[in-house]
Amino acid sequence: MAAGVSIRADAAPRFATKRPPLAKRKFTSESVEALIASTKKKIADPELAWLFENCFPNTLDTTVELGKLDGYDDTFVVTGDIDAMWLRDSSAQVWPYLPLTAKDDKLRKLFRGLIRRQARCIAIDPYANAFLPDPRGKSELDWAQADITDMRPGVAERKWEIDSLCYPVRLAHGYWQTTGDREPFDDAWRASTQLIVKTFREQQRKDGHGPYHFQRQSPKPTESQFLDGYGQPTRPVGLIHAMFRPSDDATVYPFNIPGNLFAVVTLRRLAQMHGTLFGDQAFANECNAMADEIAAALDQHGTIKGEKGEHWAYEVDGYGNTLFMDDANVPSLLALPYLECTPRDARYARTRDAVWSTENPYFFKGTAGEGIGGPHEGLRMIWPMSIMMKAFTTDDTAEIRQCLHWLKTTHAGTGFMHEAFDQDDPKNFTRSWFAWANTLFGELIVHLADKHPETLRRV
């Protein structure tokens, strides 16, 4: 540049990349970069293409730490602005890259390390939802240090959520199906999955309330549990108790229906893997039998008879009491087909219509958009994740285009997705660095480029 020549700030490119410089990225993959480049060519709207390029690699760019643990490759994945690894989030954050592992050695190494790390975490405590980089460390999360529960070294937070044990199985099963690689499925992984089934069985609570309890001193009632931390009373009907939802908020009724539906799929996946990888048909039969039991209990106790017919409840207690709502965090009622927990049948269609309406107290509609939130961030706060799930679960191109419009116009100029935004003011948002939401948005765009390319050409 010639001396004395300056460039006005407003002359900068409108859609300059928000990605870290190459040297500061945590992980790079040629196959991911190639997919970004090829997908961008299919997107007509430059702002949407820019959002995709920023968001899709955000997990790899900013949250992945590779290393060694106990002599094996290790992968630790933080959520973003919280320096801990949630079993749910870490699984979901890397899931969109799974199809590329078949031909990408670097990605396979990353996945192997994460599968091993998650097995190690489950072995530490199957009731915990979040873990520390150091398996022997002490939680430094301000809100978790004084929790009344059986806190163990290596645990960041100990909220019992069914999906925390389902997501690692989804990841492991998906990796195995995609690559055929058996390397991470050793005795430690096998033992961790046996512990998953043991924990599910304990939390059916057929004989007492089991070992888990949790209380927290907090002005927010969603941060603690009833009755000395064991939760509201239930009738043991075969369903699994959850003290917390995928949002990390306390359940009202302990039988969370999306979590139990996810558990059914998880048990069937474990049956397939143990039967094939280890020849353990006895354990496979145990998993399938438990899945059958939970599925039957869901049909009997997990639904509500609405004006338009039967649809899924959100939580029940086995006594006939039901709660209908939906929470944006996944698994949700809206997201059930995305997780392969239920087909898009008539019951799901009625459920979907109900949760995206004023029948759901956490459905919000304003001048900026509409969508589902939850108690976690309160009233009026729409989670972009719910808009993504609405797009994932429809083939209606007009509906998909509307979802893309809301997502494109509510990032508040940041170039990234957020946890939640105000229904009338997208500049009022939570979490500027939430890698799951970012990568999920990227996954949605890749999905649409494959299944509904016309929606990207016309937005």
Domain count, the chain: 1
In this structure, is residue 11 part of a structural domain?
no
> Can you give the pLDDT at residue 275?
98
Q: pTM for this one? A: 0.95
In this structure, is residue 231 part of a structural domain?
yes
pLDDT band of residue 6 (cuts 50, 70, 90) is very low
pLDDT at 3 exceeding the cut of 70 = no
In this structure, is residue 291 part of a structural domain?
yes
Q: What span, in angstroms and rounded, lies between the C-alpha atoms of 174 and 180?
A: 10
In this structure, is residue 387 part of a structural domain?
yes
pLDDT at 446 exceeding the cut of 80 = yes
In this structure, is residue 8 part of a structural domain?
no
pLDDT at 11 exceeding the cut of 70 = no
Mean pLDDT, residues 420-425 taken together: 98
The domain containing residue 195 runs over which residues?
26-458
In this structure, is residue 3 part of a structural domain?
no
pLDDT at 1 exceeding the cut of 50 = no
In this structure, is residue 223 part of a structural domain?
yes
Q: What span, in angstroms and rounded, lies between the C-alpha atoms of 180 and 173?
A: 10
pLDDT band of residue 459 (cuts 50, 70, 90) is low
pLDDT in tens, 124-159: 999 999 999 999 999 888 888 899 999 999 999 999
pLDDT at 199 exceeding the cut of 70 = yes
Q: In what order do the strands lie in the sheet with 381-382?
A: 381-382, 420-422, 425-430
Q: In what order do the strands lie in the sheet with 85-86?
A: 85-86, 130-131, 155-157
- CATH no. for residue 181? 1.50.10.10
Residues forming beta bridges with residue 85, ordered by sequence position: 131
Q: What span, in angstroms and rounded, lies between the C-alpha atoms of 432 and 58?
A: 12
pLDDT band of residue 189 (cuts 50, 70, 90) is very high
pLDDT band of residue 5 (cuts 50, 70, 90) is very low
In this structure, is residue 7 part of a structural domain?
no
Mean pLDDT, residues 317-329 taken together: 98
Sign of the CA dihedral running 357, 359, 365, 370: negative
